[in-house]
Amino acid sequence: MIAIVAVVAVGGVAMILYAVLGGADFGGGAWDLLATGPRAQAQRDAITHAIGPVWEANHVWLIYVLVLSWTCFPPAYADVAVGLYAPLSFALIGIVLRGAAFVFRNYATQSRTLMRSWQIVFGIASLIAPFFLGDAIGALATGSYAWTSPFALSVGLFAVAVCAQIAAVFIVLDIDDDALRDDFRRRAVRATIGVWILGVVPAALTVTTMPQIVDALHGTAVVIAVVVAVLAGIAVIVGVLQRRDLFARAAVAIEAAAILGGWYGGQAPYLIPHRYTFAQAASSEPMIVAFLIATGIGFAVLIPSLVLLFRVFKTPSRIAVNEGR
Amino acid sequence: MDTVIAARAQMGTSLAFHIVFAALGVGLPLLVFIAEGMWLRTRNRAYYDVARTWAKGMAILFAVGAVSGTILSFEIGLLFPEFMRYAGGIIGLPFGLEGFAFFIEAIFIGLYLYGWDRLSPRAHWLSALPIVISGPISAAFITLVNSWMQMPTGFRVVNGHVTDVQPLVAMFALPWRTEVSHGTLAAYVFTGFATAGVCALAWLRGKRTPTVLAGLRIAMIVAAIAVPCQLVLGDVVARFDADHEPAKFAAMEVLQHTERGAPLSVGGIPTADGGITHAIELPKMLSLLVAFDPNAEVTGLDRIPVDERPPIAATHLSFDAMVGSGSLLFLVALLWVTGVWAKRPLDRVLAAAIAVAPLLALVALEAGWFVTEFGRQPWIAHGILRTADAVTTSGHLGLRFFSFSLMYVVLATMCWWLLLRVGAATDVDTRPPVAGTTVAAT
């Protein structure tokens, strides 16, 4: 039982990490599509610069969550794979085209047409992936895989807004130019308001049309999560307006963690409401223990490597060998 | 479209696509690591240009490999959910470990590709080392899963329920040594010849620069070491199959009847029912190859129940294609080694031979994988779960196969186009750093 609790926790953390880090990359694509004004090209360059070295590593959190689900909760995974194949296939297409288009766009410098085309693909795919991942989560929460329900679709839109918000907040710290920073600070404020507006829709739909979701969720956990998320959202705006960008970055990460954690923890002990509890779906204890040990070993190698990666690329001033050239 | 056929077609297409990028993801980092190391050692600019050019190719190929790998990690569940339900809790461990190995690759590839002007030359060179190591390791983990599918182990089935799961036992199913070594080495054979072939092609087209020659040399060294080892290993794998996977082996060799002094069948024409006719038969050769005894008994398909036989024509012809192209690659390597030995400069004949090698290497890589997978049918996990029973009950499989195939065509075309541009742009836009300092070379 302890093993199951541990793996549920690890899975939750990995999912939140993917939502924050991968979400920032998806949101970057959205802002790439929406780049406007005299600094449109500079905005795009900043996005490329911020995403370039880290997106492939960020993306692996998704793979980790997938592998954890099918290794530790195989029947639930198989159930979801059949029930939600459509939104997952669409999300997959988005993920694939986003990654490929990003690289193609960066290297197709010799043909303007191709570069522009892949740039558009990059932007649209960056919207498709979080939309359908959000939709899949919404559909999962209904317990009946109703992925075309207004509720699931509204969760998809909400996910896109959160990604855009995370990206706008995150990217500010990767930019040297003041005017450009302000561009993204403005976007961060707008996106936060967008998150609030688009967050009300699924919440209202839950209460009015989805009694089974209300039944499945723990009231207290959800209320705490919503309060934390709203407060964190306010902190994002305050942080951005006061140009305390690191503070805003932490706040937006907490907001995302509260949203996902609220849903995931709120429907415990169910993994899929009305279908599988974590315990019912869990594979054998030796398997889960082995997976946790493998995770421990993996993290022992991974964490120092990740720290190195982010130190080299996310602190522009200190590490660069050729500083000042 | 039949559900099972459509699901298998989609999975097969995805794997056939991904295996090329996976192999290059294993092999290219080694080539780049050698090239940059040679630059640091000799300060010969040609090596620097080679490393820079290949690194650009690596960036494109790695990204496409990462996304096509993601497709697979979704598809295996989306197309064969019953396999995951049955096997996920038994053989999930290497999948999890692969995730971490790939994570390391992704982190250091970011450092390497974007770190030319952020790290000291030595640190930059060393940042490739974790990719060189974790590439083959992550490929090995995936191959461990495959070897479990060939001979599932590490659990018991009581009343239709899986119990007594031993994850570490499952992780090292019997064929793991042969499969992992043969599969990993295949990545170096393929990458070596593919890269050398590109250089040879450039040379034939008149681009006879020191950079092209340096690239050709590095790639051919790797290929010429890997290919003879692979031939020896291939022989070991075939004998392992004869001992432990008789159904696959009998299909590979088109051996209908269990017999002493079994002949070796080469080539042939597939028949309508999936068999083979008109194969050239070399008397007693199969027995000799399997047991070093011309009269040894070899198990034929007659010992395998009819509904458990793999598709004969597909398995056999794939096997012959692998062996044939692998042998030709060995000849190309031999030709190159003797040329170097005799200190002969590269001539058109040898360059042409090397330029054809990528095609042969592609055939060997794909066909070798076909042998394993066709030879496992009709099982998804041999002896315990049939492919037809593992397939999804969800719909639109034909449409999904079509749309994903279309996406692969687009990705492959674009990748090809970009690699041609990257190859053509050598020596133009990169300046080598001066010893002791670094220059932003973007």
In three-state secondary structure terms, B294 is coil
C-alpha R_g of chain B = 23
* Separation of alpha carbons B76 and B408, rounded Å: 17
Q: How sure is the predictor about A320, in pLDDT bands with cuts at 50, 70 and 90?
A: very low
Q: How sure is the predictor about A315, in pLDDT bands with cuts at 50, 70 and 90?
A: low
pLDDT of residue B431: 47
**B297-298 vs B280-282, strand pairing mode:** unpaired
CB-nearest partner of B110 from A53, A79, A325:
A53
pLDDT of residue B434: 44
Tell me which of B261 and A219 has the higher pLDDT. B261
* Separation of alpha carbons A164 and A194, rounded Å: 9
DSSP for B207-268, written as a single string: ---HHHHHHHHHHHHHHHHHHHHHHHHHHHHHHHHHHH-HHHHHHHTT--S-EESPPEEE--
In sequence order, what are the residues at sequence separation of 6 or more whose Cβ sits closer than 8 angstroms to the Cβ of residue A307? Answer: none
Phi-psi region of B379 (alpha: psi -120 to 50; beta: other; left: phi over 0): beta
Q: E strands, B13-112, where?
A: none
Q: A268: which 2 tokens?
A: 């415990």
Cβ atoms of B378 and B218 closer than 8 Å = no
pLDDT of residue B1: 60
pLDDT of residue B21: 92
B419 in reach of chain A (CB within 8 A):
no
* Separation of alpha carbons B391 and B378, rounded Å: 12
Q: Which of A60, A280, A297, A307 to mutate to test the interface with B (most CBs of B within 10 A)?
A: A60
Say what the ipTM of the complex is.
0.81
What tens digit of pLDDT does each residue of A129-173 get?
Answer: 999 999 999 998 888 888 888 889 999 999 999 999 999 898 888
* Separation of alpha carbons B218 and B196, rounded Å: 8
What tens digit of pLDDT does each residue of A3-40 get?
Answer: 888 989 999 999 999 999 888 889 888 888 888 878 88
pLDDT of residue B148: 93
Q: How far is CA A262 from the centre of its chain?
A: 15
CB-nearest partner of B74 from A83, A92, A100:
A92
pLDDT of residue B429: 43
Cβ atoms of B10 and B79 closer than 8 Å = yes
- Return the ∠ at Cα A96 (arms to B401 and A70), rounded to 5°: 75
Q: Which amino acid is at B37?
A: G
Q: B360: which 2 tokens?
A: 């042969």
Cβ atoms of A98 and B115 closer than 8 Å = no
Q: Measure B419 CA to nearest chain A CA, in Å.
A: 9
Closest CA to A51 of A159, A125, A137, A161: A125
Place of tokens 């720290």: A307
Answer whether 0.80 is exceeded by the pTM: yes
What tens digit of pLDDT does each residue of A295-308 get?
Answer: 999 889 888 888 88
pLDDT of residue A314: 66
B336 in reach of chain A (CB within 8 A):
no
* Separation of alpha carbons A229 and A246, rounded Å: 17
CB-CB neighbors (< 8 A) of B156 in chain A: none
Cβ atoms of A256 and A192 closer than 8 Å = no
Q: A195: which 2 tokens?
A: 């998150």
Residues 170-199 of B with CB under 8 A from A: none
- Return the ∠ at Cα A167 (arms to A164 and A169), rounded to 5°: 110
Phi-psi region of B109 (alpha: psi -120 to 50; beta: other; left: phi over 0): alpha
List C-alpha distances in Å: A160 to A123, A131, B262, B440. 12, 6, 64, 36
CATH number, domain A2-315, options 1.20.1630, 1.10.3210, 1.10.10, 1.10.3470: 1.20.1630
Helices A55-72, A85-107: crossing angle, 10 deg rounding: 160
* Separation of alpha carbons B14 and B406, rounded Å: 11
CB-nearest partner of B63 from A57, A81, A100:
A100
Element (H, E) at B426: none
**pLDDT over 90 at A199, yes or no:** no
Q: A133: which 2 tokens?
A: 């991942």
List C-alpha distances in Å: B402 to A33, B17, B343, B405. 28, 14, 52, 5
Pairwise CB contact (< 8 Å): B400 & A64: no
* Separation of alpha carbons A3 and B410, rounded Å: 44
* Lowest-confidence region among A64-68, A166-170, A273-277, B225-229: A273-277
Q: B304: which 2 tokens?
A: 């395998």
Place of tokens 């507006």: A197
B124 in reach of chain A (CB within 8 A):
no
pLDDT of residue B426: 52
Q: How sure is the predictor about A43, in pLDDT bands with cuts at 50, 70 and 90?
A: confident
Element (H, E) at B280: strand B280-282
Q: Which amino acid is at B279?
A: A
Question: Taking every pair of C-alpha atoms in chain B, what is the biggest distance, in angstroms?
Answer: 71
User: Mean pLDDT over all residues of chain A?
Assistant: 85
pLDDT tens across the length of chain B (442 residues): 688 888 888 888 889 999 999 999 999 999 999 999 999 999 888 899 899 989 988 988 888 888 888 888 888 888 888 888 888 888 888 988 898 898 888 889 888 988 888 888 898 999 999 999 999 999 999 999 999 999 888 888 888 788 888 888 888 988 899 999 999 999 999 999 999 999 999 898 888 888 899 999 999 999 999 999 999 999 899 888 888 888 888 888 888 888 888 888 888 787 877 777 887 888 887 888 888 888 888 888 888 888 888 888 889 899 999 999 999 999 999 999 998 898 888 888 899 999 999 999 999 999 999 999 998 988 988 888 888 888 888 878 888 888 888 888 888 888 888 888 777 765 444 444 444 333 333 3
Q: Measure A32 CA to nearest chain B CA, in Å.
A: 19
* Separation of alpha carbons B379 and B264, rounded Å: 26
Q: Tell me the CB-side half-sphere exposure of residue A87, using CA atoms within 13 A.
A: 23
* Separation of alpha carbons B288 and B135, rounded Å: 37
Cβ atoms of A159 and A87 closer than 8 Å = no
What tens digit of pLDDT does each residue of A75-94 get?
Answer: 899 889 888 999 999 999 99
CB-CB neighbors (< 8 A) of A97 in chain B: 407
CB-nearest partner of B99 from A64, A95, A286:
A64
C-alpha R_g of chain A = 20
Burial of B434 (0-12, 13-18, 19+ CB in 10 A): exposed
pLDDT of residue B128: 93
Closest CA to B258 of B288, B301, B296: B301
